[in-house]
Structure 1
Amino acid sequence: MSIDLTVVSWIVTVVVGYYFVLFLASWFRRRPPAGAEATRPLMVILVPARNEELVLEGTLESLSSLEYAGGHRVLVVDDASTDATPTIASAWAARDDRIRTSRRVPPEAGQGKSEVLNHANRLVGDWLEAGDPWLEGRRPEDIVLVIVDADGRLEKESLAKVAPYFADPKVGSVQIGVRIANADANALARMQDIEFVGFSWLVQIARDWIGSSGLGGNGQFTRLSALQTLGRDPWHRGALTEDLDLGLRLIEGGWRTRFCHLTYVDQQGLTSWRPLLRQRTRWIQGHYQCWRHLVPLARSGRTPILARLDLILYLVLVVTVVLVSYTVVVGLLGTLGLVQVTNDFLLWVPYGVPRRTVSLLLSVLPVTVFLGTYQRHSAHPFRWYQLPAAALAFTTYGYVWFFVSLRALANLVLRRNAWVKTPRLAA
């Protein structure tokens, strides 16, 4: 049996080249509009909370001490917790009038993060309509909803650094970088830190120029008036990646999304494999769900064509890990003599040292770019002599996406769509 890998190799090379271009663009960073420092929208921080007693105390303490002259509020939505979460939230609300709580109960509770956020959005809308002084009489365009997970820790001046981006009335949302707070806990947590820092400060900075920056589930800032254009429940019910889905819908609606590289949010990384695989399966399945946006994006006349192209590529290129894994498996079968492998990809390069050099460069370029970005922006950079081992570990870790992709595709075929909460560690 003969298998030809030429076409697959060309596809993977084009993808590598695409991300290398993003890497080059990430060295040139956009800033907020000039003279926008006086822009100070009211920041309403939404904290979805379901059994978060291990981390909620520290999160609320952190949020209460943020430094921002424009005013900020905190709304904790308890999603039918069975631990001390409501007690902790209520205690904070009793001593700080900037903090409010709301409790969801069955059967409405337990339907996933999208429904919790929609609940919070409806509350804010109702309070605004009723003239609640908690919102200082602000207009919807002057209120920004900030999503911080219960394990999130915003950098102290993050609100002040993001606020100027909203001086542009066309900006509907801003995403900030994400770091793993416990990156030094073990090797698995460190791999997640490389992943998040690499994506935030490589892909997101570059996409900020294009106008296609994506939203994350943590550290997401969205203008209330932009959310109102999507209806009373802007987060799509049943979406496993409600952040990606929301960002795509805003862009399709003509809103601009930005990435703020000036600040970040810390969150917990998972330190064991089972919850990590469950979490990533949900993420990749949610990514596949968002393929429903491919046609609307292609037809969206209000979105710049380059941003549309980039977002379509971003949605589709998730299959790259499957292609790479396929080449590895086929190569292994060829080495064992079970199949005959042909690949004419590098025929255009002279045989010998030039061809081996090009092959090596293409092999190490992706991990080199990611680790280079990580070294520039991480709070936990590697020592120089640790980099070869880190590169090997991160390359191996990347094949996790192949396994979870198969699980996600199986879930889609079997129509399993359960939202599973990520477990927390004691803060």
Structure 2
Amino acid sequence: MFSVIFVVLQVLLVFIAVYQFGLSMFGLMKNKSRKKHAPKKTFAVLVAAHNEEQVIGALIENLKKLDYPNKLYDIFVICDNCTDRTAEITREHGVNACVRTNANQRGKGYAIEWMLKELWSMPKQYDAVVMFDADNLVAQDFLRHMNDDLCEGKQVIQGYLDTKNPEDSWITAAYAITYWYCNRLWQLSRKNLNMSNFLGGTGMCFDSKLLKEMGWGATSLVEDLEFSMRCVQRGIYPVLNYDAKVYDEKPMSLRASAKQRLRWMQGHFNVARNYFFPLLWASIKERNITKFDAAIYTISVYNTLLGFLLTIWLWIDIAIPGPNVIQSIYEHLPWWLVAIAVIATVLQFPVALKLESVKSKRMYAHLLTLPVFLITWWPITLYAFFTQNNKTWSHTQHTRVLRIEEVQSK
């Protein structure tokens, strides 16, 4: 009985793994032809900030120098429950500091919802809204790429998420490697298949008419994923702009990283609970592969949890003296098939680095420490499962002050 349950669960995980691997093959090639449009769209650039006095100045300087007509975009820094000099520094740079104080509704999702209401009430209106985090740096041509997609009728656009500090520690290196992998073999593959991409929390662009119609309504701990699923439900598929780069600061210590990822996983469980079955039923009813893919994506957090529990279950069975109670699916597969699966799993990350033209030997060396980082997802996800009802937002402190020229020269 135990073996049957174990094998059934393993088969489920294998199916999802094979499905994702099949999708990733469509990310091996990228289409370089893109139609260019003259600057036309106007942008409200929103920066979500909570006690970001150390990094906000560098981002504002960066945004003010974007390769886009200054008259076509304005910058608004959401100073959300700040107790430091974030608002003061913002004003010193000649940018709109929008101060919000609400101790009961803390977090980026609430801050964005509040800011959009403020934005819609202003005399000047904008064609689109772009969102960044205060620790980001942005490629100079970012708004040009957003303008191109908006002129082509796109309504929700996700830029290419990169890291600004990949060589600071083995933790930031692991983040960078997983970002490069996801950009190429998760996001680009879905774009090439005309399926929905998924928002990454920053470097996002939204058509203003759509935002006014839908409302933000995403106040979970992972507001980006929540809004992505709301869009897919409505048949509006976010699209990746592979050329529009935004650089995100990543925590340097395992402790800070675990705290950040715990928040992500808690929010992800919440989204899975609310959107998996509605999207799955809709995909069956409409015969819609994109909605099916989105449903599968929502439960990726359960895949991690289930993989962890099955691994522990198997290890315990092996450690107990006597005949094994559990039979693994791999015992019934030819050795060469198992070998191919293992090799494909190991090679996907170095292949992603090669495809993304990563030249740093240190990054390739950090492939050796990457498995440790990936394994740390297991206890984090387990703890998140038991604390998923916790909706208290936790702030990740940002201190790495870099300029866009420094990041792009590496």
Q: TM > 0.5 between the two?
A: yes
Q: Displacement, 1:378?
A: 5.9
Query: 1-side partners of 2:200 and 2:372: how far apart?
Result: 25
Give the counterpart letter for 1:44 in structure 2.
A
Give the counterpart letter for 1:365 in structure 2.
A
Question: For residue 150 of structure 2, what is the aligned residue in structure 1?
Answer: 166
Query: 1-side partners of 2:50 and 2:310: how far apart?
Result: 42
Query: 2-side partners of 1:407 and 1:336: how far apart?
Result: 24
Q: Scaled by the length of structure 2, what TM-score is found?
A: 0.88
| Superposition map of 1:135-150 within 5 A | 135=125, 143-150=127-134
Question: For residue 96 of structure 2, what is the aligned residue in structure 1?
Answer: 100
Q: Of the candidates 195, 213, 228, which is equivalent to residue 178 of structure 2?
A: 195
Q: Displacement, 1:286?
A: 0.9
Q: Displacement, 1:80?
A: 2.5
CA contact (8 A) 1:226 1:250 kept: no
CA contact (8 A) 2:39 2:68 kept: no
Q: Of the candidates 370, 389, 403, which is equivalent to residue 379 of structure 2?
A: 403
Q: Displacement, 1:59?
A: 0.6
Question: For residue 303 of structure 2, what is the aligned residue in structure 1?
Answer: 320
Q: Displacement, 1:380?
A: 5.8
Q: Displacement, 1:119?
A: 1.8
3-state SS of the aligned residue for 1:243? helix
Query: 2-side partners of 1:303 and 1:121: how far apart?
Result: 33
Question: For residue 85 of structure 1, what is the aligned residue in structure 2?
Answer: 86
Question: For residue 404 of structure 2, what is the aligned residue in structure 1?
Answer: none
Give the counterpart letter for 1:409 in structure 2.
F
CA contact (8 A) 1:375 1:382 kept: no
CA contact (8 A) 2:161 2:179 kept: yes
3-state SS of the aligned residue for 2:133? coil
| Superposition map of 1:254-273 within 5 A | 254-273=235-254
Question: For residue 405 of structure 2, what is the aligned residue in structure 1?
Answer: none
Q: Displacement, 1:248?
A: 1.3
Question: For residue 120 of structure 1, what is the aligned residue in structure 2?
Answer: 115
Question: For residue 226 of structure 2, what is the aligned residue in structure 1?
Answer: 245
Change (3 A) 1:258 1:304: farther
Question: For residue 283 of structure 1, what is the aligned residue in structure 2?
Answer: 264
Q: Displacement, 1:392?
A: 4.1
Q: Of the candidates 367, 391, 394, which is equivalent to residue 420 of structure 1?
A: 394
Change (3 A) 1:31 1:288: farther
Residue 151 of structure 1 pairs with residue 135 of structure 2: yes
Q: Displacement, 1:68?
A: 1.6
Q: Displacement, 1:83?
A: 1.2
CA contact (8 A) 2:47 2:134 kept: yes
CA contact (8 A) 2:199 2:228 kept: yes
Query: 2-side partners of 1:393 and 1:107: how far apart?
Result: 40
Identical aligned pairs, as a percentage? 20
Per-residue deviation, residues 206-242 of structure 1 (Å, max 9, x unmatched)? 12224210111111111111111113xx1323x1100
Contiguous gaps of at least 5 residues in structure 1:
94-98, 350-354
| Superposition map of 1:370-389 within 5 A | 370-377=349-356, 379=358, 381-382=360-361, 387=364
CA contact (8 A) 1:275 1:422 kept: yes
| Superposition map of 1:325-340 within 5 A | 325-338=308-321, 339-340=324-325
Give the counterpart letter for 2:23 in structure 1.
L
Question: For residue 292 of structure 2, what is the aligned residue in structure 1?
Answer: 309
Give the counterpart letter for 1:359 in structure 2.
V
CA contact (8 A) 1:155 1:263 kept: yes
Give the counterpart letter for 2:96 in structure 1.
R
Query: 2-side partners of 1:303 and 1:42: how far apart?
Result: 36
CA contact (8 A) 1:175 1:260 kept: yes
Q: Displacement, 1:336?
A: 2.5
CA contact (8 A) 2:187 2:198 kept: yes
Question: For residue 186 of structure 1, what is the aligned residue in structure 2?
Answer: 169
Residue 214 of structure 1 pairs with residue 198 of structure 2: yes
Residue 228 of structure 1 pairs with residue 204 of structure 2: no
RMSD of equivalent CA atoms? 2.5
Q: Displacement, 1:409?
A: 1.2
CA contact (8 A) 1:46 1:74 kept: yes
Query: 2-side partners of 1:118 and 1:167: how far apart?
Result: 25
Query: 2-side partners of 1:36 and 1:304: how far apart?
Result: 34
Query: 2-side partners of 1:13 and 1:104: how far apart?
Result: 47
Change (3 A) 1:35 1:195: closer
CA contact (8 A) 1:191 1:397 kept: yes
CA contact (8 A) 1:251 1:303 kept: no
Query: 2-side partners of 1:92 and 1:243: how far apart?
Result: 28
Change (3 A) 1:77 1:165: same
Question: For residue 26 of structure 1, what is the aligned residue in structure 2?
Answer: 27
Q: Displacement, 1:118?
A: 1.1
Paired residues in the alignment total 394
Query: 2-side partners of 1:259 and 1:87: how far apart?
Result: 34
CA contact (8 A) 2:330 2:338 kept: no
More moved, 284-293 vs 69-78: 69-78
Per-residue deviation, residues 48-98 of structure 1 (Å, max 9, x unmatched)? 1111011001010111111024822110111131111111001112xxxxx
Change (3 A) 1:39 1:92: closer
Query: 2-side partners of 1:86 and 1:303: how far apart?
Result: 48
More moved, 332-341 vs 188-197: 332-341
Residue 367 of structure 1 pairs with residue 346 of structure 2: yes
Query: 2-side partners of 1:120 and 1:303: how far apart?
Result: 36
3-state SS of the aligned residue for 1:261? strand
Query: 1-side partners of 2:286 and 2:315: how far apart?
Result: 44
Give the counterpart letter for 1:406 in structure 2.
L
Query: 2-side partners of 1:253 and 1:87: how far apart?
Result: 40
Question: For residue 96 of structure 1, what is the aligned residue in structure 2?
Answer: none
